[in-house]
Structure 1
Amino acid sequence: MPQIAQLAETYSSQIFWLLVFFGIVFFVIGRGMVPKVMDTVSQRDGQIAADLAAADAARTQADEEEEAWRKRENENRAAAQTLVAKAKADAAAANEKKLAAAQKRLDTKLADAEASIAAARTSALAEVEGVAAEAAQDIVQRLAGVSVTAANAKKAVKEAMAHG
């Protein structure tokens, strides 16, 4: 078979060209391109690591700033609550003073009114005593036919009012 006999001749030629091709590929790609790709990958890894470190530093700084802000906010809130409490206390004291002054005015008006009522009562009682004395004189005059002096009638009315 002639095809089998040619196989050895063509086979060695194909192996030779295969080795030449792989040698060229090895030197071009393996020695020329792979180191460049590896450098690019290591640069990219370095850049990623640097970016992660920068992000971590920025996050740490942001956390510190947030903590400082929270502390200031809490201090401001406490100061505001103190101001509100002071304002409430001041308002309560002012209201207490106003209430005391109003109570004093009311007490004065009440005392004046009570004095006026007492004076009116005294005047009314004196007038009632006078009318009762006159009525008693008139009644005694009509019923008993006896004339009673105004002083005696007033005395009898006073005694009757004191007991009754």
Structure 2
Amino acid sequence: MPQIAQAAETFSSQLFWLLVFFGLTFFVIGRGMVPRVMETVSMRDKQISDDLAAAQLARDHADAEEEAWRERENANRAAAHDLVVKAKADAARKSEQHLAEAQERLDTQLAEAEQRIETARTEAMNEVEMVAADAAQDIVRRLAGVEVSRPVATQAVKESLAHG
């Protein structure tokens, strides 16, 4: 069979060209293109890691800024609370002062009113004693027909009022 006899020549020629083609392909792609692709992938990985590092740095910076803002906000709230407490204390102190002044005025007015009442009571008692002494003098003169002096009648009325 002649086809079988040619198979060795055909296969050796095809095998030679197959090895040449794959060898050439290996050197062009394997030695030329693959290193460039790997370099591109490596640069891309480096860019991604750099971007992630920059993002983490920005996040850390933002967290620090937020913490500083929270501290300032808490300090401002504390200062506002202190102002409110101070304002309440001032208002309470002023209110107590006004109440003390009003109480002092009321106490003064009450003392003056009590003094006026005491004076009026004393005057009324003196007038009652005078009327009672006049009435006693008149009653003794009419009933007993005896004339009683003013000082004696006044003394008798005072004694009677002191016991009664």
In angstroms, what is the RMSD of aligned CA positions? 3.0
Q: For 2:149 and 2:83, locate their aligned partners in 1 and report how far apart those are by CA, in whole Å.
A: 77
What residue identity is the alignment partner of 2:52?
L
1:122 to partner: Cα distance: 1.3
8 Å CA contact retained: 1:133, 1:150: no
8 Å CA contact retained: 1:136, 1:153: yes
What residue identity is the alignment partner of 1:149?
V
Aligned length: 163
Task: Look up the match of 1:55.
Answer: 55
What residue identity is the alignment partner of 1:111?
A
1:137 to partner: Cα distance: 4.7
Alignment of structure 1 residues 71-150 onto 2, 5 Å: 71-137=71-137, 140=140, 144-147=143-146, 149=148
Q: For 2:147 and 2:13, locate their aligned partners in 1 and report how far apart those are by CA, in whole Å.
A: 178
Task: Look up the match of 1:18.
Answer: 18
- Report the more deviating stretch, 133-142 or 12-21: 133-142
Q: Secondary structure at the match of 1:89?
A: helix
Q: For 1:59 and 1:150, locate their aligned partners in 2 and report how far apart those are by CA, in whole Å.
A: 115
- TM-score computed with the length of structure 1 as normaliser: 0.76
- Report the more deviating stretch, 115-124 or 17-26: 17-26
Residues 1:40 and 2:40 are matched in the alignment: yes
- TM-score computed with the length of structure 2 as normaliser: 0.76
Closer, same or farther: CA 11–160 of 1 in aligned 2, 3 Å:
same
- Report the more deviating stretch, 131-140 or 14-23: 131-140
What residue identity is the alignment partner of 1:47?
Q
- Report the more deviating stretch, 74-83 or 154-163: 74-83
* Residues 70-129 of structure 1: CA deviation (Å, up to 9, x unaligned): 333343334333333332333233223212211221111011110111122112222332
Task: Look up the match of 2:156.
Answer: 156
1:157 to partner: Cα distance: 1.6
